[in-house]
A and B are shown apart, each in its own frame.
Chain A
Amino acid sequence: MKISLSVTHNCNLRCNYCYTGEKIHKNMNLKTASEIVDFAFEITPCENQIDFSFFGGEPLLCFYLIKDVIAYVKTKEFSNPISYNITTNGTIINDEIIDFVNQNNIKLSISIDGPEHIHDKNRVDINNNGTLKTVLQNIKKISNKVNFFQVNAVYGPDTVGELGETFSFLIENEIKNIHLNPNITQNWDESMFSKITDAYENIAEKYMSHYKSNQEVALNLIDSKLILFLKGGYDKEDKCGMGETEFGFAPSGNVYPCERLIGDDTNDEMCMGNIHTGINPLKRCSIGKKRGNSNAECVTCSVQKYCMNWCGCTNYNMTGYSDKVSSMLCYSERAAITAAKKVILELQDNETFINHFCNYAYDENKILNTGVYYEHTHRRSNGKSMES
């Protein structure tokens, strides 16, 4: 069960591509958060994992609330495995936060888009100043202190051509667990598509070059597809559980099927109810029915089983329908599969590459490929239908 708490609409940055709406000083209160925790335990079968993700705005502006929520979780009697994640812009990290993150095995996801001319183009503070320097300093501060962190680099039509440069920059800064994510709220003009294939090919070359130099790196773009090659494609249980095994909660307590659909909490089409007043079962059902992919073209596609065409929030943000795939996603997935294919053919006998899949990253291992492991296991929580 994935429970995302958007603990605040507030943020200390003003990223140009932000999809979470106006930055207002509206925070979740502890009563709302506690009810969400109660809800999570009520709807999750015993023994099934619950992932609590803290999201925003900038969630670390409400660090006090995150501490209170986790303290509340610990008061509950449960047998479910629990994990915690915080998605942060990386500008507000201090020793107290680092200690707390370690004590509670929280996974940090830090946003950094690349070198200065890429990162600072979009990720600016309220005075329109770039934030790379601060984020990089904080990443260096935590890199030997926290158990797990990954970076998320967002690329859009304006920066996809520089994706290889971003990857190299992150590696140069000793960041070894990298997630590259396309901006799904921007308009991707078709003229950009050839840049996507070029960029992914370039990244695959760099990835292979690292392994040939016996350097391990975890990269979602390639690793997730390699895992799928090994598995033979996505399982039913891997796919989007929006509205059934995934819920996103706005600071008001409003419930959405995914945290990426909360925005500024005004999306009536996707809002399923409120934690204080209940969830509308018909609304939840109608959203659930539209999970997946209804595109006739995809049925005959040779790489369908490796394609992430089922991601409801990606589809919704790109096409306005949770079950309609955008042309950008089609191009991107095919390019990623082609790039990953090249990698597996080239590296199948490479010792470091094989170790990459053999070693698991835990406390003592800073070469992080937990993301790879996590990718194909953590979504296997199996929630039963929820009562309204």
Chain B
Amino acid sequence: MSTHIEEAMERAWSPNSIDRLHLINGGWPIPNFRIPMDKLIAITKGSPRIAMSGVPKGISTNIYLKKILAGGIRMPHLHMQDEIVLFDKSVLQEYLHAAAEEVKNIEDITEIRDFIRQ
């Protein structure tokens, strides 16, 4: 991770950021980068509303709302290994483009004779 990103993270995720987790409508900042698990745990530690837990073998990461309340992570996110990628709109659009590019190569299977199970 570059120094630039690290600096950006420090600004976005200072200890005071915890207050931003508890806005009525959810108030997470919008980083365009991956957030390491330890950082998320540090930030959410002691939060009455959000809990983090790692999943063994590095498969994924769990993030929960302790209570179902308005707010929480309002952004689309993907779980990738032990990190969570939060999307803002422009990043999401990039992901959509990338995903579209990938699935474009999937062969269309619409003819019954082409199905595996007949």
Which residues of chain A are near B67, meaning CB under 8 Å? 81
Q: Is the CB of B107 within 8 A of A105?
A: no
Q: Is the CB of B117 within 8 A of A331?
A: yes
Q: What mask results when residues 230 to 260 of chain A are scored 1 for a CB within 8 Å of chain B, else 0? A: 1100011100000000000000000000000
Give the docked Cα–Cα distance between A297 and B68 (Å): 42
| CB-CB contacts below 8 Å: B70-106 with A | 70-76, 78-79, 87-89, 92-93, 95-97, 99-100, 102-104, 106
* Number of cross-chain contacts by CB at 8 Å: 136
Give the docked Cα–Cα distance between A201 and B110 (Å): 10
Give the docked Cα–Cα distance between A382 and B79 (Å): 15
Q: What mask results when residues 14 to 30 of chain B are scored 1 for a CB within 8 Å of chain A, else 0? A: 00000000000110000
Give the docked Cα–Cα distance between A334 and B68 (Å): 35
Chief secondary structure at chain B's binding surface = loop
Does A205 have its Cβ within 8 Å of any Cβ on chain B?
no
Q: Is the CB of B116 within 8 A of A348?
A: no
A297 to chain B, nearest CB (A): 5
Which residues of chain A are near B118, meaning CB under 8 Å? 190, 327
Which residues of chain A are near B89, meaning CB under 8 Å? 354-355, 358
B9 to chain A, nearest CB (A): 21
From A59-67, A128-136, A286-294, A360-368, give the one contacting chain B. A360-368
Count of B residues near A, CB < 8 Å? 49
Q: Is the CB of A348 within 8 A of B59?
A: no
Q: Is the CB of A345 within 8 A of B104?
A: yes
Does A298 have its Cβ within 8 Å of any Cβ on chain B?
yes
Which residues of chain A are near B69, meaning CB under 8 Å? 362
Give the docked Cα–Cα distance between A32 and B75 (Å): 40
The winner among A303, A326, A359, A380 for most chain B CB atoms within 10 A is A380
Q: Looking at the complex, which one of B59, B92, B102, B108 makes contact with A358 (CB distance below 8 Å)?
A: B92
Q: Is the CB of A331 within 8 A of B53?
A: no
B63 to chain A, nearest CB (A): 8
| CB-CB contacts below 8 Å: A48-87 with B | 48-49, 79, 81, 83
B interface residues, Cβ below 8 angstroms from A: 25-26, 51-53, 55-56, 59-60, 62-76, 78-79, 87-89, 92-93, 95-97, 99-100, 102-104, 106-110, 112, 115-118
- Can you report 10 A-B residue pairs in the complex whose CB atoms are below 8 A from each other? A81-B68, A194-B112, A237-B55, A237-B59, A330-B116, A335-B110, A338-B106, A359-B74, A360-B76, A377-B79
